[in-house]
Amino acid sequence: MTFSCGNAESLDTLSKASAEGELIFKKQCALCHGLNGNKQLSGAKKLIESKLSMNEIEALATYGMRQMPSFKERLTIEEIKLVSDYAYQFRESK
Ligand code: HEC
């Protein structure tokens, strides 16, 4: 994806995408990770301290790991991308 400065259309799509990512996160992830990415239910890692790349977060959300469930039956690839985007930005809000 490319971002160009001052392009209202791409900014618009971007904020729509993150709003949808936020919605999915609240439904599917906040139970363990908390609304702000700092909760650690059943051993969940703090998302605000995560060092994982976007691709790694997507892979983890798709296939799961130990106590972290797999979401490939529950979310589409597009939704996993959106929610991973959202999960990724917690470290920047710290
Ligand atoms: C049932 C509780 C639970 C739910 C729901 C859950 N997770 Fe997790 N998550 C975990 C646990 C537990 C770990 C730690 C896995 C491990 O390393 O053993 C984890 C780890 C992670 C990590 C890795 C952080 C790091 O740096 O190691 C990311 C990213 C993540 N989860 C994102 C998500 C996203 C995105 C969702 C929603 C689609 C989600 N999780 C839903 C429990 C959960």
Chain segment 77-90, per-residue pLDDT in tens: 999 999 999 999 99
Where do the structural domains in the chain lie, given as residue ranges? 51-94
Residue 44 has pLDDT above 60, yes or no: yes
Q: How many CB atoms lie within 10 A of CB 80?
A: 22
Pick the more confident residue, 76 or 12: 76
Mean pLDDT of 3-20: 69
Which protein residue has the closest C-alpha to ligand 1 atom 22? 45
Q: Is 52 in the pocket of ligand 1 (CB under 6 A)?
A: yes
Round to whole Å and give the CA distance between 53 and 19: 21
Q: How many CB atoms lie within 10 A of CB 62?
A: 15
pTM for the whole thing?
0.88
Q: Out of 3-7, 30-34, 65-69, pick the least confident.
A: 3-7
Give residue 18's pLDDT band: very low, low, confident or very high (50, 70, 90). confident
> What DSSP character marks residue 73?
T
Q: Is 54 in the pocket of ligand 1 (CB under 6 A)?
A: no
